[in-house]
Amino acid sequence: MFRRVNEGIILIILVFLFWSCAKKVEPPSVVIWTGMVNQSEIEMLRGLAKEFRDSTGVEVKVFTVPFSDLQNKFQIAAPTGQGPDIITGPQDWIGIFGAANLILPLPEGFLTSEEERDFLPLSLAGMSYEGKRDGLPLTVEAIAIIYNKNLLPTLPSTMEELLKEAVSLTDKEKGKFGFLFDITNFYYCYPFFSARGAYAFGYDKEKGYIPEDLGLCGPQAVEAATLLYDLMSGKYKLIPLGTNYDSMQSEFMGEKVAMIINGPWAVGDYKKAGINYGVMPFPPFKDGKYPHPLVGVLGVMVNKKAKHINEALKFVKFMNSLENQLKIYKALQRIPARRSAWQDPAIANDPDMQAFIKSAELGEPMPNIPVMSCIWQPMAEELTLIVKGQVPPDEGINIACRRMKAAIERLLR
């Protein structure tokens, strides 16, 4: 009897072991947080996730987070291991996340030498921090001159010609303007500073950006600020007081302004409104110096405490295949980071995108170090006083520099 009981127990154990071995092992899943919220963007991401699952068996779960909340939410969740495996975001998060040790530097050899050469160099620079590549770029974007073809039949070849033409087209009493842009927003003003030789921060190929090397404090910056004063209150008087991004958009949509400064995110509205517009990169000044816009990079980063790092890295690589770069371009209407994608007919035959590409190639990567946050407000506030004629350009720049240096020093302590 005992023998039969023992045999029964053994049989039960064997059945249990067989069932355990036969039980399907669930593959790991990767979680991605993104600030992309437009339907076309989300459909594109979920489509990539499905293709990746079908080819690898690894599920990718896409969660949308309002862009305004995404950075802070990741900074809170990532250190505790509760964050996503992957996050998408702009290059200026790289320095913040990198300094906090929240994101994983891509392993050596992650890109082949051929792939490395295919990426627009400044896009890779934008996703690097202190000599480490902390993310992989998906798209780049840069501002350019957008013009109304009905009002500007002949394109200027220099900035001086552009300003001369703008003066001839301006009649404020009739509500007509030759050239408008958000003149107190340093992002839109930066091309004028860079054309005079000013810069945000110095850069070292090995160490990255140098926080102590603030390039907005010399005579070059004063020269740029003087030109901006001339555009509103001085020599040219092109831009009315109170002009900001929204008022510029309204005037352009109403076909009351010939030229503006804007980015690729705006052209969809112009198409819907039936505006006969064109895009051109910033022309050089007569001295041959080009305005260099700041180039933004949208990239993808891996959480250092990701639950499935290997699978996350594979999906990051998958997102940046040539085929998928084109899918991302079609959904976001942004310049692909890989230059080989530019040869696709959808991009090669798009005059808008070609102009924005040329502008980006002439541009400078937006510094991604944390102290870049010390630049925007002091420059905006002092530029407001300068262009209104309330403070001389040299005094305004000196005040802005003292404020920026003090803020940088506090942040570096």
pLDDT digits (tens, 9 = 90+) for 105-135: 999 999 999 999 999 999 999 999 988 999 9
φ, ψ dihedrals at 371, nearest 5°: -70, -5
Higher pLDDT, 264 or 6: 264
Residue 335 has which token pair? Answer: 């310049």
Whether 5 has a pLDDT exceeding 80, the answer reads no
List residues bridging with 140 in a β-sheet.
Answer: 297, 335
**pLDDT of residue 65 exceeding 70:** yes
Question: pTM for the whole thing?
Answer: 0.88
29-140+296-365 and 144-294+368-412 agree in CATH topology: yes
Who has greater pLDDT, 81 or 318? 318
| pLDDT bucket at 284, cuts 50 / 70 / 90 | very high
Confidence at residue 206, expressed as pLDDT on a 0 to 100 scale? 79
Domain layout of the chain by residue ranges: 29-140+296-365, 144-294+368-412
What is the arithmetic mean of pLDDT over 88-111?
A: 94
How many whole angstroms separate alpha carbon 368 and alpha carbon 231?
Answer: 30
Summarize the confidence of residues 246-258 as an average pLDDT. 97
pLDDT at 2: 46
Q: Which of residues 204 and 86 earns the better pLDDT score?
A: 86
Q: What is the pLDDT of residue 64?
A: 95
Name the CATH topology of 29-140+296-365.
D-Maltodextrin-Binding Protein; domain 2 (3.40.190)
Type and span of the H or E element at 145: strand 144-148
Q: Average pLDDT, stretch 360-364?
A: 95
**What is the band of 6 on the pLDDT scale with cuts at 50, 70, 90?**
low
What's the mean pLDDT when you consider all of the chain?
92
The length of the chain, given as a count of residues: 413
Q: Which residues contact 82 (CB under 8 A, 6 or more apart)?
A: none
DSSP lists the bridge partners of residue 209 as 203
Q: Is the pLDDT of residue 19 over 80?
A: no
pLDDT of residue 27: 67
Per-residue confidence at 22, pLDDT binned at 50, 70, 90?
A: very low
What percentage of the chain has pLDDT greater than the value 70? 93
* Per-residue confidence (pLDDT) for residue 9, from 0 to 100: 56
Q: How far apart are CA 151 and CA 20, in angstroms?
A: 75
Q: Is the pLDDT of residue 3 over 80?
A: no
**Assigned architecture for domain 144-294+368-412:** 3-Layer(aba) Sandwich (3.40)
**Which stretch of 24-28, 139-143, 161-165, 241-245 has the lowest confidence by average pLDDT?**
24-28
Q: CA 150 → CA 46, 206, 274, 276, 366, distances in Å? A: 41, 49, 12, 7, 33
Range list of H helices, 238-303: 245-253, 267-272
pLDDT of residue 49: 96
Helix axes 39-56, 322-332, angle to 10 degrees: 160
Q: What is the mean pLDDT of residues 366-389?
A: 96
In which element (H, E) is residue 179 found?
A: strand 177-180
pLDDT tens per residue across span 149-204: 999 989 999 999 999 999 999 999 999 999 999 999 999 999 999 999 999 999 88
